[in-house]
Every structure is written in C-alpha cells, then in structure tokens.
C-alpha cells in the first residue's frame, strides 16, 4: 500500500503529466548535478543559472526572472478558508472548492516536457519538536535549488513523515509566467498551498512566506504558538552575556541588516539566528523560545554593502554551503560579478542591467531591480549563533517592532506591559516598499509586520497574542522603533545601521532594570542621556526631534488606526479597543 506521501506524489504526477519525476535527496552530489542542468536549461528564453566569478563570489550563480515576476503579488494571493470571515479583511478570499477547481485547470498537464521535482523538507531543524514536515512539488529547477538553501531538504524527511498524513503539501508550477494566470492559494485547514505562474521567492518557495507564515500562523493559532515575520538575534554585552531579541519589520526595512549587525559600541556583538521568520513557543519555564524555521537568507541586495552590512558581504563570499544565487541584480561585465546599487560607491562602466540590457548610467534608473535578491545559506554567516540549531530555540527577553516612517513615530519607545505592546504592534504603519508589487512609499497599517502574511482573521490573531501573554511567567519587554524619521528637509535624522546598536544597548539596560524611563502619551521613553551617543555626531536638538510626539500628526495617525480597526468590527479584542480609546483621550479626541 502507498504511504500518504507516495500517494500525493502519484496524484501530482497524474495531474501534471511531467516527463520525469525526481525526488530530491539533499546530497551535495545532487546540488552539483542540478546546478549543471540549470546552467544548460532555458526558461522563458533565458538560461536559468549563469556562473559568476568564482574568486570574488565562490559557488555563486546569476538568475534573471521574467520582468513581470520580480516581487510578491499580494493581489493574487488568497487565503481559502471555508468562510470569508475566517480569512478576515486582511486577506483576499476565494471559496476553497472554487479555488481548487481553478488551480486544477492550470495544473492539468502543466509539466509536460518538464521534470517534476519532489522536495521533501523540514522547516526547523531535523531534531526540534517544533519543526514541521513538508513536501513541495515544483517544475522550476531554480525553485528546487533555492529550497535546498532556504530549508533543510533531504531523504530523512521521508522517514520522518513515514506513514503519517500530517505534512504540508506545497504544489507549485511556474506555468507560463503569465500574470493573468498567476495565483497563490492557501488552504490553512488542509495544510496546503497551490501556486501557479510565478517563480519569485515569496510566491514560489512555498516553505517560506506561504507555509512558515500564512499556514503556520494558523497552525500556531490552533496549537498555542506564534509564527511571526521576525528576525532572531542574540546581543552579547561586554559582560559576555547574550540577550535574545525578536524583531518585526515590514519587508525591506533593514531587518536583515539588524539581524547581522556589527555594533559600533565596543564590547557588543550580535549573534545571528534568523533574518525573516520566527516560530515562537512557550517553554516549560513560561518564557518564550524562538526557532528559525529557515536555513538561509533571501535578502534584498540593493543597499547591502560593506558600510551597511559587512557581515552579509562576508556571508555572500563564503564558500562553505552552496549554491549562492543572485536574482535580478545587474552584472559587472568587466569581472563577471553581481552588482547592485549600494555594493560600491562607483557605478562600474560596463554593466548589464537586471533586464539583460547594457546599462546606461544616465538613464536615471537603477541597474539592479530594487527588489533584486540573494539566496544564501545561513551556515555561511560568520556571526551565526552557536545556538542556531538548538532544538529548544533561544529564550526571548525583548521584542522589537518597527516600521518605516518619515514622521510621527519616535526613534524608540517601550510598552508598559504585554498588552500595551500588543496594542502598539497592532497599530504599526509603514511606507510600502519594493518587496511587493504596487506603488511604494504609501503608509499602510502593517500590524506586527504581518499584514501580508497572517493566514487568518487578524482580529483573532490579535486576541491570540493577548492569550499567549496570559500564559507567560516572564513576558519579554516590547519596544517600538523607527530608524527612518526625517527632518524638515527630508534628511534621515538617525544614522541607523551600526548605530542602531545604541538603541539595543538601552533595551538591554531596560531588560536588566539598570535604567528608568520617562512617560509619554504613547509609551515609555528613555530618560535624558540614557542612550549611549558616545562618538556619534548628533545634536541635542535632533535627539529631541527624534522623540517628538506631534499632536496633529498623532490625530491623523489615530484616524488611520480607527479606519483600520473598523474593518475588523467586533473581532478587535476589547483590550485593544480600550487602549485606542485611552490614546484618543490623551490627544483630546
Ligand atoms: C521577504 C518579504 O521577502 O518580506 O522577506 O517580502
Ligand atoms: Mn520578509
């Protein structure tokens, strides 16, 4: 008799009708073989992988996607729960039966003359009880190779699954990369995702956003844990002690830079555990413990350079685990290296842009796509925490929420307690970035940086956060930050990047009870001179401006929060509504 996994593969083979079926085993020989095939294959008229300069970027390959397929497509992403209310106003919804019918039509025979890759993988380590077994089907060799970097792929998973039917099913075909025939459909109740028509990471590496956030957030809701869009980092202070933080920021807000931070402050060191997703459980001691379900970084290239993120530059040049993939960057033809805005001050003279054209410096356009990416193993990261593979995860003392705001939101603010923190996180707004298709720079509410990734009704998600807090014996402190505030002439007031360690230092001092706070209308601020500004050229006036709570701006903000909350009706927990009412009173509304 066939096991549920074997049955699934057989059904997929019948549906897709591929020429060949290949079950991945995770071996190094397999990586070499697939890289070889990808260098000879064309998709959409383009060679899938091209080898880059091996001295400068060892074991690295260039991939260029269809120009219509460069970011997550939120308007084509659906959560297909039995009722619309379960998906909530935060998700697009289609009735599950209708969604499956539509997808099945696309899938029928879609892999003729192609290979169907079967990817058994775990999200989390093989040893952790918090890890989850998964199987993805795909006809994209780029996706298959990327999954080997981003997740733990291997034969062991087939053993782990055994005769169980409890595994995630991810069904993907790149189809004909036609945006009119592109859908990413999630079925949380069935542990299933169907994706067609895109090869972009967030749409096609189904273990990432689709499973580890949208489906897993729903599993967490059912099972009493949290799947969050968060970095995990340990910050070692001069006394040698590591304090573990989670950090939630919307896409392309410097999350990866923070996770791999090289602090400017002497004696401090960041230990990296994850740059995008955290699975958070309550440990036996009543503390939160986090694991990173992923095994790689899928980072935004533009803006990454020796000044902004030297650790990532070292990671990208590390040779240990491969391949490292560069997608939609430009290529410097003089030495066959990937190039993007921010990797060097000078723009090389002989560049091919991300669309394969000779780059004209005077065009006013960037050479690399603003959402061009690198895919690299986390095990290449020189600051990888020794706790990275700890099956229990790391104990969390602080949670940092952030957004990208040119005004309104102060540099840092601490929530009084867990529920106030949940409220603060629920009202985050951020300017949209290139990680999702659509206009950039508009402020939208992005609670917990999870708006595009919460796989169920966000009102219930807020309640779930409050319920988790009730079970904690030692809740972490919750902080809100905004590195992106600008002055009257549009200049960033805070230097950001490595100087953000100054704020983290203050947070550690708060966690350890070494410094007090000042009350403000929106939470607790650092006391005067409590932030270590040693060696930083910043005026007192600028610091005052960074913490300004502008009444008019906050009145506007509250209006936007009310509009956002109103979409969820009575699903917004009473506690959060009370917090909003209090905030209104503080601003005379
Ligand atoms: C990502 C995103 O790719 O958040 O990490 O869009
Ligand atoms: Mn992300």
User: At which of 345, 360, 380 does a domain end?
Assistant: 380
Is the pLDDT at 440 greater than 90? The verdict is: no
In the prediction, which pLDDT does 332 show? 98
Between CA 65 and CA 369 the distance in angstroms is 11
Q: Are strands 429-431 and 373-377 parallel, antiparallel or unpaired?
A: unpaired
- 524 and 491 inside one domain: yes
Classify residue 53: in a domain, yes or no.
no
| DSSP alpha helix (H) spans, 212-358 | 216-223, 255-259, 310-316
Query: Which 3 state secondary structure label does DSSP give 415?
Result: coil
Read off the pLDDT of residues 32-48 as tens digits, 9 standing for 90 and up: 999 999 999 998 889 99
Alpha carbon separation from 321 to 111, 315, 339, 520 (Å, rounded) = 30, 10, 21, 48
Residues 6+ apart with CB under 8 A from 244: 232, 233, 234, 235, 273, 290, 394, 395, 396, 397, 398
- 540 and 398 inside one domain: yes
User: At which of 380, 403, 434 does a domain end?
Assistant: 380
What atom in ligand 1 is closest to the CA of residue 373?
3
Q: Are strands 517-520 and 477-481 parallel, antiparallel or unpaired?
A: unpaired
Between CA 476 and CA 394 the distance in angstroms is 12
Between CA 555 and CA 217 the distance in angstroms is 32
DSSP 570: G
In this structure, the number of other CB atoms found within 10 A of the CB of residue 483 comes to 25
Ligand 2 centroid to 371 CA: how many Å? 12
Domain residues for 356? Answer: 297-380
Phi, psi (deg, nearest 5) at residue 570: -80, 5
- 315 and 395 inside one domain: no
Classify residue 48: in a domain, yes or no.
no
In the prediction, which pLDDT does 97 show? 98
DSSP assignment of 286-326: S-EEEE---SEEEEE-TT-STTT-HHHHHHHT--SS--EEE
Q: Which of 383, 384, 379, 418 is nearest to 401 (CA)?
A: 418
Ligand 1 centroid to 526 CA: how many Å? 31
- 125 and 15 inside one domain: yes
Global pTM?
0.97
What mean pLDDT is predicted for residues 261-282? 97
Q: Which of 165, 172, 197 is nearest to 186 (CA)?
A: 172
Q: Do 379 and 321 meet the contact criterion of CB atoms below 8 Å apart?
A: yes
- 422 and 559 inside one domain: yes
As a whole number of Å, the CA-based R_g of the chain is 23
Classify residue 54: in a domain, yes or no.
no
In the prediction, which pLDDT does 254 show? 87
Ligand 1 centroid to 113 CA: how many Å? 32
In the prediction, which pLDDT does 266 show? 95
Is the pLDDT at 309 greater than 80? The verdict is: yes
- 309 and 275 inside one domain: no
Nearest ligand by distance to the CA of 231? 2
Cis preceding-peptide flag for 309 (omega within 30 of 0) = no
- 161 and 285 inside one domain: no
In the prediction, which pLDDT does 218 show? 98
What atom in ligand 1 is closest to the CA of residue 251?
4
Classify residue 79: in a domain, yes or no.
yes
Residue bearing tokens 């990888």: 384
| Beta strand segments in 174-251, E | 183-187, 192-196, 226-228, 230-236, 242-248
Ligand 1 centroid to 278 CA: how many Å? 13
Give me the CATH number covering residue 537.
3.90.228.20
Is the pLDDT at 441 greater than 80? The verdict is: no
- 365 and 461 inside one domain: no
In the prediction, which pLDDT does 320 show? 86
Q: Work out how many domains the chain is built from and give that number.
A: 3
What mean pLDDT is predicted for residues 532-551? 97
pLDDT over 90, % of the chain: 96
Ligand 2 centroid to 251 CA: how many Å? 5
Among residues 253, 381, 388, 413, which one is catalytic? Answer: 253
Nearest C-alpha to atom 2 of ligand 1 is from which residue? Answer: 251
Q: Which among 70, 74, 209, 277 is the best mutation to test ligand 1's pocket, defined by most ligand atoms within 8 Å of the CB?
A: 209
Classify residue 464: in a domain, yes or no.
yes
Pocket of ligand 1 (CB under 6 A): 72, 202, 251, 276, 298, 435
In the prediction, which pLDDT does 589 show? 92
Q: Do 530 and 501 meet the contact criterion of CB atoms below 8 Å apart?
A: no
Nearest C-alpha to atom 1 of ligand 1 is from which residue? Answer: 251
DSSP 210: I
Residue 370, CB half-sphere, CA atoms under 13 Å: how many? 13
Classify residue 111: in a domain, yes or no.
yes
Read off the pLDDT of residues 50-91 as tens digits, 9 standing for 90 and up: 999 999 999 999 999 999 999 999 999 999 999 999 999 999
Q: Which among 73, 251, 375 is the best mutation to test ligand 1's pocket, defined by most ligand atoms within 8 Å of the CB?
A: 251
Read off the pLDDT of residues 353-364 as tens digits, 9 standing for 90 and up: 999 999 999 999
Between CA 226 and CA 219 the distance in angstroms is 8
Q: Do 340 and 302 meet the contact criterion of CB atoms below 8 Å apart?
A: yes
Between CA 92 and CA 6 the distance in angstroms is 32
| DSSP alpha helix (H) spans, 427-494 | 458-470
- 479 and 449 inside one domain: yes
- 291 and 301 inside one domain: no
Residues 6+ apart with CB under 8 A from 487: 493, 542, 545
Is the pLDDT at 252 greater than 90? The verdict is: no
What mean pLDDT is predicted for residues 463-490? 97
Is the pLDDT at 465 greater than 90? The verdict is: yes
What mean pLDDT is predicted for residues 458-468? 98
Read off the pLDDT of residues 170-224 as tens digits, 9 standing for 90 and up: 999 999 999 999 999 999 999 999 999 999 999 999 999 999 999 999 999 999 9
Give me the CATH number covering residue 104.
3.40.449.10
253 flagged as catalytic: yes
Q: Do 436 and 452 meet the contact criterion of CB atoms below 8 Å apart?
A: yes
Nearest C-alpha to atom 3 of ligand 1 is from which residue? Answer: 202
Between CA 331 and CA 293 the distance in angstroms is 31
pLDDT over 70, % of the chain: 100
Classify residue 537: in a domain, yes or no.
yes
In the prediction, which pLDDT does 567 show? 97
What atom in ligand 1 is closest to the CA of residue 250?
4
| Beta strand segments in 379-498, E | 394-395, 398-402, 412-414, 429-431, 443-445, 477-481
What mean pLDDT is predicted for residues 329-352? 97
The phi-psi region of residue 183 (left if phi > 0; otherwise alpha if psi is between -120 and 50; otherwise beta) is beta
What mean pLDDT is predicted for residues 564-585? 97
What mean pLDDT is predicted for residues 360-385? 97
Classify residue 270: in a domain, yes or no.
yes
Is the pLDDT at 329 greater than 80? The verdict is: yes
What burial class does residue 345 get, using C-beta atoms within 10 Å of its C-beta: 0-12 exposed, 13-18 middle, 19+ buried?
Answer: exposed
- 179 and 78 inside one domain: yes
Read off the pLDDT of residues 381-424 as tens digits, 9 standing for 90 and up: 999 999 999 999 999 999 999 999 999 999 999 999 999 999 99
Read off the pLDDT of residues 86-117 as tens digits, 9 standing for 90 and up: 999 999 999 999 999 999 999 999 999 999 99
Per-residue confidence band for 529, with pLDDT thresholds at 50, 70 and 90? very high
In the prediction, which pLDDT does 442 show? 84
Give me the CATH number covering residue 312.
2.170.8.10
Is the pLDDT at 434 greater than 80? The verdict is: no
User: At which of 352, 380, 408 does a domain end?
Assistant: 380
- 264 and 408 inside one domain: yes
In the prediction, which pLDDT does 229 show? 97
Is the pLDDT at 141 greater than 90? The verdict is: yes
């Amino acid at each position: 008799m066939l096991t549920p996994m074997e049955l699934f593969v057989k059904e997929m083979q019948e549906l897709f009708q591929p020429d060949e079926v290949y079950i991945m085993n995770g071996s190094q020989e397999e990586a070499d073989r697939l890289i070889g095939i990808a260098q000879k294959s064309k998709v959409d008229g383009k060679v899938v992988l091209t080898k880059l300069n091996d001295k400068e970027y060892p074991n690295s390959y260039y991939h260029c996607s269809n120009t219509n397929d460069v970011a997550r497509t939120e308007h084509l992403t659906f959560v297909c729960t039995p009722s619309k209310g379960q998906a909530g106003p935060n998700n697009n919804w289609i009735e599950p039966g209708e969604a499956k019918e539509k997808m099945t039509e696309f899938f029928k025979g879609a892999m003729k003359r192609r290979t169907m890759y079967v990817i058994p993988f775990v999200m989390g380590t093989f040893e952790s009880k918090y890890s989850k077994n998964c199987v993805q089907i795909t006809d994209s060799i780029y996706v298959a190779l990327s999954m080997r970097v981003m997740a733990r792929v291997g034969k062991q998973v087939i053993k782990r699954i055994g005769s169980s039917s409890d595994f995630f099913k991810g069904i993907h075909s790149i189809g004909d990369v036609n945006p009119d025939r592109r859908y990413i459909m999630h079925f949380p109740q069935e542990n299933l995702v169907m994706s067609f028509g895109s090869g972009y990471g967030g749409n096609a590496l189904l273990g990432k956003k689709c499973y580890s956030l949208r489906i897993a957030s729903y599993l967490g809701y059912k099972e009493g844990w949290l799947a969050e869009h968060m970095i995990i980092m340990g910050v070692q202070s001069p006394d040698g002690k590591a304090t573990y933080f989670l950090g939630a920021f919307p896409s392309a807000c410097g999350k990866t830079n923070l996770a791999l931070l090289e602090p400017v402050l002497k004696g401090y060191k960041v230990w990296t555990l994850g740059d995008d997703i955290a699975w958070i459980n309550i440990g036996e001691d009543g503390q939160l413990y986090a694991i990173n379900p992923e095994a790689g970084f899928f980072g935004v290239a533009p803006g990454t350079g020796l000044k902004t993120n030297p650790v990532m530059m070292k990671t990208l040049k590390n040779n240990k685990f491969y391949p490292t993939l560069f997608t939609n960057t430009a290529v410097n033809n003089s030495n066959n290296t990937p190039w993007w805005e921010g990797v060097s001050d000078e723009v090389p003279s002989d560049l091919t842009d991300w669309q394969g054209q000779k780059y004209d410096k005077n065009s006013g356009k960037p050479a690399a796509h603003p959402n061009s990416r690198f895919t690299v193993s986390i095990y290449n990261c020189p600051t990888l925490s020794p706790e990275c593979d700890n099956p229990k995860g790391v104990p969390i003392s602080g949670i940092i929420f952030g957004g990208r705001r040119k005004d309104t939101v102060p540099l840092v603010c601490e929530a009084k307690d867990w529920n106030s923190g949940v409220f603060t996180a629920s009202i985050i707004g951020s300017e949209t970035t290139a990680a999702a298709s659509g206009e950039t720079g508009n402020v939208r509410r992005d609670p917990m940086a999870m708006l595009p990734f919460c796989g169920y009704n966000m009102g219930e998600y807020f309640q779930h956060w409050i319920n988790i807090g009730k079970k904690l014996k030692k809740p972490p402190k919750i902080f809100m930050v905004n590195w992106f505030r600008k002055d009257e002439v549009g200049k960033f007031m805070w230097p950001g990047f490595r100087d953000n360690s100054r704020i983290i230092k203050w947070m550690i001092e708060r966690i350890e009870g070494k410094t007090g706070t000042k009350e403000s209308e929106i939470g607790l601020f650092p006391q005067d001179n409590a932030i270590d500004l040693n060696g930083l050229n910043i005026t007192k006036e600028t610091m005052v401006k960074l913490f300004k709570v502008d009444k008019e701006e906050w009145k506007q903000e509250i209006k936007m929060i009310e509009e956002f909350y109103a979409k969820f009706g009575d699903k917004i927990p009473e506690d959060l509504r009370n917090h909003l009412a209090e905030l209104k009173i503080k601003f005379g509304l």
